[in-house]
Structure 1
Amino acid sequence: MLDLRQVPRVFDTKPWAAHLYVTEQCNLDCHYCNEFNNSIPHPALADLKKWMDHIRNLGVMRLGLQGGEPLKHPDIVDVVRYAKSLGFCKVSMSTNGFLLNRQLLADLEGAGLDELQISVDRMTPIASTRKAMKSIVHKLDWFKDSKV
């Protein structure tokens, strides 16, 4: 249950939301994005926990997990679980969706993920986009039975 005393007031000077980059790595190399750097190792889970502790101690209530591609981080489910244990009222993630599978979605839901945003490169009908969309669209059906 959310403690309303922890919810920031309208004129509170504390930040209410923050984004944490959990990795610089990505499985795609989109022309418009500079977040693709597979040579940089993932931050250790212990470091991510320290950063989340600091963010939460600032009074932040919403945490967005981003990257690169957050699903590339081998401990992403543990990252979500730890964020929820700190009392963030909303934990979200932005992904390209290519690495998502039913089990991972179930694991993220079980860890407490509140929102999963799937980013689409473009909506123009070029061959590579049609192929990419086919690999993502069927995954949207998985959300029918999910709380994410």
Structure 2
Amino acid sequence: MTNRNIKAIKWFINTQLLGKWYNVAYATFKVTSKCNLKCTFCNPAYYSGTLEEGSTERLKKVIDNLRDSSVVVLSFEGGEPTTRPDILDLLGYAHDGSFYVMLTTNGYRLGDPSFLSKISERIDFLHYSIDEYHWNLKALDNLCKFREFGLKVNVQTVVTRYNINTLEDKVKKVRECGYKILLMPAVDYPDSKVKLEPDKEQFYQVLSYLKGKYGSTLNNSWGFIRALKGEFPKRLTSYAITIYPNGDLPYPDDINGEVIGNLSQNKLGELLNSYRAKELRRKMMENSARYEYLHLQTASFNSIKDLAEYAREMGKWAFTGKA
């Protein structure tokens, strides 16, 4: 097992100083494709329950094969991950110091004090999606209660062309509770029936205003915000991966990439060093394929300064609990 803080330092040196751009820092682990909601902006594959789902032991093998990799943050997502009966077991298994463990949830089980108490011992950050459903939006009224359990909360909201002008009240409430909020644009998938993606210029203006007024409460970096204006670096690469519920690894992303192997059977380094991964990476570096829908592409951080500033804000939050 490699300590997560040591891994973070090594990752920074390897990527930013030595130019090894394919090193992964963030893993989105979609442990299920089942969800109790059907948000209009979500990829249907992630709530329909159609993706093959691995057993508890299979997913533990995935976690084992990530421990000694460069992955610093392991985010449990879905679907709705808390619909898995074994979610507490999986979170506890991952929370051994190898990763910063996150849980992304729509709040399905957050009304249960016993569950809150248990996850507080198993995660480092709670990503709480508060989006379009009425019962979910009411969660803002009781948002501060999570402080009683010592949870570091990041509210995550998908911004659409319909809610883009109503974001400030939510940001103010999050700041009042001492949390952070991440505002992510809706993505119009090829088969989307309803077009929700916000105008980039308008999104840039709104984020710039909110970041200027509320500072580090807004968990979007200035590098990410500037990227909305088209200020992309020449090289596009990803510091993040998505893992499917059965352990499959689509690469370089889950929108335009292809499955290069299964992490219940192979270590991450073996898959990333495979011939096929190198070919996909070459295409990405040449921009013959623009993998834009990536959690941590270099377009989000235009310089070491931007990345360092973002890391400083996150480090302060991790060690002091102050957003």
Give the TM bin, normalised by the shorter chain. 0.7 to 0.9
Q: Distance in 1 between matches of 2:34 and 2:25?
A: 27
* Structure 1 length-normalised TM: 0.80
Distance 1:3 1:51 in 2: 17
For 1:132 and 1:138, locate their aligned partners in 2 and report how far apart those are by CA, in whole Å: 10
The 1-side partners of 2:5 and 2:73 are apart by 14
User: CA contact under 8 A between 1:95 and 1:118: conserved in structure 2?
Assistant: yes
Asked which structure has the greater CA Rg, the reply is 2
Q: Which runs of 5+ in 1 are unaligned?
A: 123-128
The DSSP-based 3-state class of the residue aligned with 2:95 is helix
Equivalent residues of 1:18, 1:55 under 8 A apart: no
Query: Does the 8 A contact of 1:63 with 1:88 survive in 2?
Result: no
Matched, 1:132 2:143: no
Measured in 2, the distance between the counterparts of 1:3 and 1:41 equals: 30
* Contiguous gaps of at least 5 residues in structure 2: 15-19, 152-323
Match of 2:107 in 1: 97
The Cα shift of 1:77 comes to 0.8
**What SS is found at the alignment partner of 1:93?**
strand
1:143 — aligned with what? Answer: 146
2:82 equivalent among 71, 76, 84 = 71
Secondary structure of the equivalent of 2:67?
helix
Q: 1:17 aligns with which of 26, 40, 47?
A: 26
Whether the 8 Å contact between 1:114 and 1:147 is mirrored in structure 2 is no
TM-score (norm 2): 0.39
Q: CA RMSD in A?
A: 2.2
How has the CA–CA distance of structure 1 residues 116 and 5 changed in structure 2, closer, same or farther, with 3 Å as cutoff?
closer
Q: What amino acid sits opposite 2:123 in the alignment?
A: L
Give the count of matched residue pairs.
138
Q: Residue type of the partner of 2:49?
A: N
Q: 2:54 — aligned with what?
A: 43
CA distance in 2, matches of 1:130, 1:4: 39
Matched, 1:113 2:123: yes
* Residues 132/62 of structure 1: CA separation in 2 closer, same or farther (3 Å cut): closer
How many Å separate the matches in 1 of 2:59 and 2:90? 7
Residue aligning to 1:83: 94
